[in-house]
Every structure is written in structure tokens, then in C-alpha cells.
Structure 1
Amino acid sequence: MSDTPVRDTTASGLEAVSVGTDALVGMATLGKTAAALALVLVIIFAASALLKRLQRHRQPAGGRLRVVSAAAVGPRERVVIVQVEERWLVLGVGGGQVNKLHELAAPPQEAKASSGAGFEAGDSFATRFAKALKHNAGLKDRPGRS
């Protein structure tokens, strides 16, 4: 009689170990799948960020067309000023249509007035940041400071 309960406990012990092993194998598989998915998402986001960065530094084809300014005048309507060679076109954009509102001679290209920190058109972020830090550090002549 004592042999039968021992066999039952041993059998149930082996079942528990095999069920636990199956659960661990399932969790390991789930973990590997989640890690692979995370890796794919990281690659997609890195590639999109790289493409956006490369597109930003790219000059438009021919360099003849440039959006000078744009302003929203409604939920879907905008007024846009576009420079085409030496002309400015004032365009109304909305509802799937583009209408020419006015045409102007483009103002002469002058050297852009530099801001208080002395930014220039070709400055990199690091250069602009350094100039801004120098400019802000020089604000000692404000009232209440010596």
C-alpha cells in the first residue's frame, strides 16, 4: 500500500516539473519574439530619422523654387509666397486648388541681418549654440546686476 502513494507523488512531481519546463520554454520564446520585434522597430525609427536628416540637407532640384512664407487663413486654406527665380508669387492654396493671387518682383538678396548672438546662415548647431552661450553670458549690464 505504501508503494502506490509514492508513485502518485513521483508522477505528480514529474508532471509539475514538465509543466514548469513548458512554461519556461514558452516564456523564453515570447521573450525572443519581443526582443526581435523591438529590434525591428528600432531599425525602422533609426532609418526614418536618418532619411529625414538627409532630406533636410538636400537642395531642391534646380534651386529655382523656394517657399518664402506661408500663413493659414482657414482650417484647410493657406496663403503662400513662393519665389520662382526673381519673382514672388502669392498663391491661395485650399480645397485641392492653387490660385495665383498676386505677383511681385523679389526684393534684392541682402545680407541677412544677424541676430544679437551673431548667427549666420551656414552656422552649424554647435556654432550657433556656442554663440548663444557667449551672448547670454554677456548680459551683465541688465538692471539689478553689476
Structure 2
Amino acid sequence: MRIDRFLSAAFLFAAASVCALAAEPAKAVPPVATGAMAGLMQVALALVFVIAAIFVTAWLMRRFTPGQFGSQAPLRMVGGVMVGNRERVVIVEVDDTWLVLGVTAAGISNLHSLPRPEGAVATPAASHVFAEKLATILKARKAPNPTQDTA
């Protein structure tokens, strides 16, 4: 909770700083090209400041909130099956142990745990499977069909 408060306060400070920069009264500048250039530079500086604040906030979130934003936890879902409207039985791999879990609307319960079978092959992530299927379909579309007459 402290981290969330800190990040919220940092974001509010950054937003207030940008608003203060934008609310500065314009100085009397002669109507020449330098006045337009100064205004453009002020807007560009404010934009750079906002983008930097976004990146700093994202970095702080990644640094101080473990388990989020792409952490490489040793946890992988092997498979699952629906056994009711809101009930599932899933197999989750943690290190070299498979956990058979019952997942319901009321909670999660450990049904069984067993060592990882030797014949079990690590399944690729769903995004890799999708990418491979898409590549196969695209290759099939590009390849000429030998059954069609070209004459």
C-alpha cells in the first residue's frame, strides 16, 4: 500500500508541475518569430517532462511491485478442464511438481500433488502456438496451388 501511495503522490506531483508550467502567464514578447519558437519550446519541454514522468512511474512500479509486469515466476499452467458452470480442475506446474487444483467460485483447493512426469514436454506459450499457426496459414496462401490450371 505504501508503494501505491508513493506512486500516486509522484504522479500527482508530476501532473501538478505540468499544469503549473502551462499556467505561467505569458511574458510580453515582441510579435516576432522568437515568441512562437519560445512557446513551442515550452510545449515540447512539458511533453518531454510528462513522458519522462510516465517512464519513471512505470520503472518504479516494476521495481517495487514484485510478481507483476512480466516476472519470470516458476509457475506454469499445464492444462485444465471445465467440470461445471463455474468449476474447473487445473494442473499447475511449480518447479518440478504438478499441483492438481480445484477452482470454484468460492476458492481454490489442492486436490493432489505429484512429481512432474518424465515424459512431459514443456508446452510452448499460447502466443507461440498462435504465431506458428498463423505462419503456416500465410505460407499456404502464398504457395501456388498445383491443382489449379494456370493456362
Q: Name the TM-score class by shorter chain.
A: 0.3 to 0.5
TM-score by length of 2: 0.37
Taking structure 1 as the reference length, the TM-score comes to: 0.38
